[in-house]
Amino acid sequence: MHTLPQQLANGLFLGSMYGLIAIGYTMVYGIVQLINFAHGEIFMTGAFGALTVWNCLPDGMNIWAALPLMLIGGAIVSVLIAVGAERFAYRPLRGAPRLAPLITAIGLSLALQQAIFVWYPGADNAKDFPQLGTHPYHLGSIAIQRNDIFLVAAAVVCMVGLAAFVRTSRTGRAMQATAQDPDTAQLMGIDTNRIIVIAFAIGGLFAAVAGVAFGLKYGQITYNMGFQAGLKAFTAAVLGGIGNIYGAMLGGLVLGIAEACATAYIANIPGMHQLGGQGWANVWAFVLLIVVLLVRPQGLLGERVADRA
């Protein structure tokens, strides 16, 4: 049990990243009832956009000075792709049967993945990503890397900023109205197309922050990293209550902690030594999802209409 604080911290760091990506899923679903399976690739392109900025900067530039520029570069790429996907891939299918945009999202996901693989130089191999440092801070028995501090801080800032935006701004209230009843919102003078674009843009922004945090944490990015991360984030969104922005972050944290603890401790249970380790992390994540949905089908927090945006 002496390793439990460290595992809980590892789960918190991992869950913060899942939560950032999951918010993009849940915002889009809350407004247009669309599961954007290309969101994992938007996360991936944000990381590659940030890496491109880093490669264009002068050699020897301090990573802390470069980090804001990398975040801006990654955000521009992710937001443009997210908004472009809404305008050219999803909007023409808004009145189509729900299977059509779902298949389109899967096709767009594969297209983005292959575009990076084919056109980004050297993307067929893992690309090295700069890190904030390798010397950890110690809080009792817990070792905390600088990259993890950035990840948690970014998640907190993004979540607090989004909550304030949704609750206090005029656009945020319009997003709530559109999520509750888009037809009535349009009759009341709200430009629902603009609100949907903003939802995609915010989701892309958060995905870019998560992509940069992923690269900083693991030191490498790959063209296919968005598939698994996106699947885990979608799981987190469903776990917390799809359409609920607070549930998305909570689901990410629960999933991250469960994954970290399961990989560390299940192998120590008599008769289950073959079911532990990192190779089983995905299995236990989905086992948790199944158990929660059997007990509470609406997710941990459920779907709160007022917060669906």
Q: Is the pTM of this model over 0.75?
A: yes
* Residue 135 maps to a domain: yes
Asked if 22 and 251 touch (Cβ cutoff 8 Å), the reply is yes
Task: Determine the length of the chain.
Answer: 309
Residue 24 has pLDDT above 50, yes or no: yes
Q: Residue range 158-164: average pLDDT?
A: 93
CB 247 within 8 A of CB 300: yes
pLDDT digits (tens, 9 = 90+) for 188-238: 999 999 999 999 999 999 999 999 999 999 999 999 999 989 989 999 999
Top-confidence residue, 14 or 141: 14
The closest of 2, 34, 71 to 242, measured between CA atoms, is 34
Domain assignment present for residue 110? The answer is yes
CA distance 152 to 130: 18
* 169 in any annotated domain: yes
Q: How confident is the model at residue 140 (pLDDT cuts 50, 70, 90)?
A: confident
pLDDT, average across residues 25-43: 92
Any domain includes 295:
no
Predicted local confidence at residue 309, as pLDDT: 40
Residue 304 has pLDDT above 60, yes or no: no
Rounded CA-CA distance 105/144 in Å is 37
**What are the DSSP calls for 150-176, one per residue?**
HHHHHHHHHHHHHHHHHHHSHHHHHHH
Q: How many domains does the chain have?
A: 1
**Angle made by CA atoms 156, 210, 207, in degrees to the nearest 5:** 105
203 assigned to some structural domain: yes
In a domain, 160, yes or no: yes
Is the model's pLDDT at 6 over the cut of 80? yes
Dist CA 64 CA 149 (whole Å): 13
For the ranges 79-83, 93-97, 153-157, 224-228, which has the lowest average pLDDT?
A: 93-97
pLDDT of residue 89: 94
Q: What is the pLDDT of residues 268-282, one digit of tens each?
A: 666 666 666 666 777
Phi, psi of 96 (to 5 degrees): -80, 165
Q: What is the pLDDT averaged over residues 93-118?
A: 92
Residue 137 to residue 306: CA distance in whole angstroms = 40
Residue 179 lies in a domain: yes
Confidence of residue 47 (pLDDT cuts 50, 70, 90): very high
Compute the distance between CA of residue 199 and CA of residue 278 in angstroms, rounded to an integer.
34
Mean pLDDT of 143-167: 93
**pLDDT score of 2:** 74
**Residue 130 exposed, middle or buried by CB count within 10 Å (0-12, 13-18, 19+):** middle
Q: State the residue range of the domain holding 168.
A: 4-230
pLDDT of residue 195: 95
* Amino acid 20: pLDDT: 94
Domain contains 136: yes
Query: Is the model more confident about 271 or about 244?
Result: 244
Please say if the pLDDT value at position 307 is more than 70: no
Q: For residue 3, what pLDDT is reported? A: 81
Residue 185 is which amino acid? A
Is the pLDDT at 174 greater than 80? The verdict is yes
Amino acid 45: pLDDT: 97
